[in-house]
Structure 1
Amino acid sequence: MEKVLLHSCCAPCSAAILEWMGQNGYKPVILFYNPNIFPEEEYLRRKNEIVRYAHETGVAIVDLDGGNAGDGAGQEAAARRITDNAEGQQAVTMGDWEQQHAGWLKCAEGLEGEPERGRRCLACFKHRLCVAADYAASHGFPLFTTTLASSRWKDIRQINEAGLYAQEQCGRGLTRFWDRNWRKGGLYERRNILARQFYNQQYCGCEFSLRQRERFTETKNQ
């Protein structure tokens, strides 16, 4: 079975992909690294859902906020780094939520007012997928991919651009981004069925998307 590192944004977006991989000869390992999620309570709520699901299904999960969990994940120290590059990515050290989120905010500087699917989202995808590519390269994963591509709220072209960028800038020639469209082949419909067992968030994750969601709700209710 071919090993795949699956960057997971949340449990609802992950379940159908994990199921498909298991049925089609792949051995997925989940990687959770989402320092964009705000506030901390929301971050923990989403993380706990995917950790619970990983434990229930026996899928290994690497939790990069300070330790690993899950069957077969091991106990490597979660002190990975990504390097500066021409796009201005900031070097970050994995630690607690506050430290990680502060590092993520640096990649969003000057882009706070961008709309969803705008330049801030692309910078966010690059930031997270560079960490995934670095981990995949360091731990022998020939492929890495992301559940971000399963959501219809996200621009799949941006995700693929960020994934290929991460492959080139952070993969060190040791891993390849799998740009499969995780919405096709019945996977989006299956996603919506499996998502019923999880907490389903109402905004992407960062404080900027939360504020936009709140403004939209206020306008809609006027």
Structure 2
Amino acid sequence: MSKFPAIQKSNNKVNYYQQSLDEIDEIKRKGYRPKLLLHACCAPCATFPLEFLSEVFDCTILYNNSNIYPSDEYHRRLNELKNYLEKINSTNSHPIQLVEVPYNNEEYTKKLEPLKDYPEGSMRCITCYTLRMHEAYQYAANHQFDYFTTVMTISRQKDSQKLNEIGSKLQAQFPTVKYFYSDFKKKQGIDRGRELSMQYNLYRQQYCGCIFSYQEYLKRKV
């Protein structure tokens, strides 16, 4: 057992799902379509969030996931996302754009190396979420987006409270871009995501992404 305990889940139990509904109602009341930058780690995790958001937002996906190891896995997830977007954009009146940030796993891994012995779901993962969300939020601010959010709250393995707390802190750093609070897994969102993944026969990865989660995955296979 690791000597590093997993981080306790946040005690700040905010209903971020309801906040997302309230924000959408307010946008509809104002009668406009804001530009939203959506950080996405893979196609399966993007399915339901895009369905949920596309009704009211002009969405652009940012694929900035240099944490993913090895490079073949990074490109497999990216290509699956591209293929998925091509399919849904063929019938979408508001096509979803995709922006890819250059892949630099070596530099990214150096940032996580001091936390390599921490277990999945602990400080290593929180640091990883923060790094990627910060980079994506910076992009949103530099390119005049109205909103930013991440698909990661769709995952049962990720603490939505923590992710939204990160988003709230980043909004203070980038005040021109509003953070869209979410809990995409709620109200059968996670089930709808699985349904869409099956419908489009999407590749579903077996580990989170970084070299350390990859090594843990290989150990589980033995």
Q: TM-score range by the shorter chain?
A: 0.7 to 0.9
In terms of fraction of residues, the more helix-rich structure is 2
Instruction: Give 2:52's aligned residue.
Output: 20
8 Å CA contact 1:15–1:195 kept in 2: the answer is yes
SS of 2:53's partner is helix
Task: For 2:161 and 2:53, locate their aligned partners in 1 and report how far apart those are by CA, in whole Å.
Answer: 22
Q: Which residue of 45, 49, 53 maps to 2:84?
A: 53
Q: Kindly, what percent of the aligned residue pairs are identical?
A: 35
Instruction: Give 1:186's aligned residue.
Output: 188
SS of 2:114's partner is coil
Instruction: Give 1:104's aligned residue.
Output: 108
Deviation at 1:107, TM superposition (A): 2.2
Deviation at 1:168, TM superposition (A): 2.9
8 Å CA contact 1:130–1:167 kept in 2: the answer is no
SS of 2:113's partner is coil
Task: For 1:176 and 1:20, locate their aligned partners in 2 and report how far apart those are by CA, in whole Å.
Answer: 17
Task: For 1:207 and 1:20, locate their aligned partners in 2 and report how far apart those are by CA, in whole Å.
Answer: 31
SS of 1:36's partner is coil
Instruction: Give 1:125's aligned residue.
Output: 129
Task: For 1:2 and 1:159, locate their aligned partners in 2 and report how far apart those are by CA, in whole Å.
Answer: 22
TM-score normalised by L of structure 2: 0.78
Instruction: Give 2:202's aligned residue.
Output: 198
SS of 1:135's partner is helix
Q: Which residue of 101, 117, 135 maps to 1:64?
A: 101
Task: For 1:25 and 1:156, locate their aligned partners in 2 and report how far apart those are by CA, in whole Å.
Answer: 22
8 Å CA contact 1:203–1:213 kept in 2: the answer is yes
Total equivalences in the alignment? 182
Decide which moves more: 201-210 or 134-143. Answer: 134-143
TM-score normalised by L of structure 1: 0.78
Superposition CA RMSD, Å: 1.4
SS of 2:216's partner is helix
Task: For 1:113 and 1:145, locate their aligned partners in 2 and report how far apart those are by CA, in whole Å.
Answer: 29
Please list every run of at least 4 consecutive aligned residues from structure 1 whose deviation after the TM superposition is greater than 3 angstroms.
none
Task: For 2:166 and 2:108, locate their aligned partners in 1 and report how far apart those are by CA, in whole Å.
Answer: 15
Task: For 2:202 and 2:191, locate their aligned partners in 1 and report how far apart those are by CA, in whole Å.
Answer: 15
Instruction: Give 1:164's aligned residue.
Output: 168
Structure with higher RCO (Cα < 8 A, 6+ apart) = 2
Deviation at 1:10, TM superposition (A): 0.3
Deviation at 1:103, TM superposition (A): 2.1
Unaligned residue ranges in structure 1 (runs of 5+)? 66-96
CA distances 1:184-222 after superposition (whole Å, capped 9, x unpaired)? 13311100111122111000001101111222332xxxx
Instruction: Give 1:74's aligned residue.
Output: none
CA distances 1:10-63 after superposition (whole Å, capped 9, x unpaired)? 0000011111222x3222111100000000000000000111122222211111
Q: Which residue of 173, 176, 182 maps to 2:178?
A: 176
Q: Which residue of 146, 154, 160 maps to 1:142?
A: 146
Task: For 1:8 and 1:146, locate their aligned partners in 2 and report how far apart those are by CA, in whole Å.
Answer: 6
